Structure 1
Amino acid sequence: MRAGCLCAALLGFMLMTTPAAAEPALIDAAAAGRADEVIRLAAAGAPLEAQDSQGRSALLLAVAGNHVATAKALLDAGASPNTQAANRDTPWLLAGALGRAEIIAAMLPRKPDLTIRNRYGGNALIPACERGHVEAVKLLLTSGIDLDHVNDLGWTCLLEIVILGDGGPRHQQVAKLVLDAGANPSLADRDGVSPLAHARQRGQRAVAALIEQAGGG
């Protein structure tokens, strides 16, 4: 009787410490930003690309929570910046959209897949520009990302800066960054309306001036 109980207890302990059992523990630790626990679980063999019910990996959850140390620990352990969730986010795409500059910097040496698109058909640069994430945009521009990629709305990063931005200092900065990097200043939307025309319609004089200086018409 005692032997049977001991065997059952031992089996239960073994199951609790297997990589499969460590999957939810790793995801929970990453979501909460418990970097030391993440390091321990990864070293014990927890599957780094395990996903929760929404397809979110531990690294994606670390990005969402802006848990920089945790994200770096996962990347150092070999976690992929390309694992796509059910909503089509990847850690790389989400880091761009949320302006997680420190995490983007840590991802760059891992050569993220720049061809993966978000649910709007965009790359990491477009939402970073739209939201005026200046430091994130600076880093994204070093990755070889497509400056003139057109998303499912028919908009480039420059068009999103103008159409969805406020024309303020941050959007002026990101507009200058992408234009200086070589973004096409005249690439129009599906209705043939150029970035310059949109900027003028919205009274974004500073942004319009930047587009004009870059040769946009």
Structure 2
Amino acid sequence: METTAIRAWLLDNGFDTTSPLVNNQPGQSALIMAAQQNRLDVLNYLLDQGADLTVLDAYGNNALWAACFAEAADCISALLKAGINIDHQNPSGATALIYASSSGKHLIVSQLLLAGANPLLTTQDDFSALDLAATHPCLQLLRQSVKRLV
């Protein structure tokens, strides 16, 4: 259900309130923008409207990546529950897990691993989330996860 706050967010970000799933003038997706801004209310509204979970930003990243960028755990959960591809790889092969690991976001790494993200996927340069772990907590989480798989 569209609330006053959701309607205001759509208008403030250049989206047509009668067609909120259509990209705004700069070509941005409301779903990705809501995830990046940690707006669970807007994200849930867009999901209820049938938002396309395969939509990508200009860099080839999906809304899950945007939610990981924002460390928006509730948005991540909502997107995963809706069925977003947890292992989507952008053009360089990076997944949301690889991004979160390389950024030292250990709580997000943990959340993604618990949700079933594949820690063995690699970038085009053959680096995994484990290879790119920026912090000790990320490294430990990924080591444990990889050990369970091999």
TM-score bracket, shorter-length normalisation: 0.7 to 0.9
CA distance in 2, matches of 1:149, 1:103: 22
Q: What is the match of residue 104 of structure 1?
A: 43
Q: What is the match of residue 208 of structure 1?
A: 139
Deviations 1:77-115, CA, capped at 9 Å, x for gaps: xx4442113443111111112211121122222221112
CA distance in 1, matches of 2:47, 2:146: 31
Kindly report structure 1 stretches of 4+ aligned residues shifted beyond 4 Å: none
SS class of match (2:132): helix
Q: What is the match of residue 118 of structure 2?
A: 184
Q: TM-score, normalised by structure 2?
A: 0.81
Q: TM-score, normalised by structure 1?
A: 0.58
Cα RMSD between the aligned structures?
A: 2.7
Higher helix fraction (1 or 2): 1
Structure 1's unaligned 5+ residue stretches are 1-34, 39-57, 66-70
Counterpart contact for 2:28–2:57, Cα < 8 Å: yes
Matches within 5 A, 1:10-159: 35=4, 60-62=10-12, 64=13, 74=17, 79-159=18-98
Q: Which has the higher contact order (CA 8 A, sep 6+)?
A: 2
CA distance in 2, matches of 1:151, 1:142: 21
Larger radius of gyration: 1
Compared with structure 1, are the counterparts of its residues 140 and 182 closer, same or farther at alpha carbon in structure 2 (3 Å cutoff)?
same
Q: What is the match of residue 196 of structure 1?
A: 130
SS class of match (1:211): helix
Sequence identity percentage: 30
Cα deviation for residue 59 of structure 1 reads: 6.1
